[in-house]
């Protein structure tokens, strides 16, 4: 998946089931957007388990949307500050 704005990521999370969540990473080389991918794939699980510093979290539709939005915004601000 490509790097995306928070609104696009949230639209993916709203439809993501708990057994098929969305994982978010803050590793855009241009420090502009977050990256969202399917969280239940082997590759994503491996990246998370490897302790990626860019890992923001794993999200699904049953989580509080305001809390998720706040976490994504904080991650984006933190990523941009590293630039």
The SS3 call for residue 82 is coil
In the chain, where does DSSP find H-type helix?
A: 6-14, 42-49, 65-81
Residue pointed to by tokens 């490509």: 2
pLDDT in tens, 17-70: 999 999 999 988 887 889 999 999 999 999 999 998 899 999 999 999 999 999
**CB 59: neighbour CB atoms within 10 A?**
25
What is the pLDDT at residue 73? Answer: 96
Read off the pTM: 0.92
What is the pLDDT at residue 32? Answer: 82
Into how many domains does the chain fold? 1
The whole-angstrom separation of Cα 4 and Cα 22 is 13
What is the pLDDT at residue 1? Answer: 60
Residues in the chain: 83
Domain containing 25 equals 3-81
């Amino acid at each position: 998946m490509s790097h995306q704005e928070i609104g696009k990521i949230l639209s993916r999370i709203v439809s993501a089931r708990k057994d098929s969540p969305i994982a978010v990473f803050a590793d855009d080389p241009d420090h502009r957007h977050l990256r969202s991918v399917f969280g239940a794939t082997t590759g994503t699980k491996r990246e998370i388990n490897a302790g990626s510093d860019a890992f923001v979290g794993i999200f699904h539709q049953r989580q509080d949307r305001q809390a998720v939005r706040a976490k994504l915004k904080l991650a984006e601000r933190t990523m941009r500050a590293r630039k």
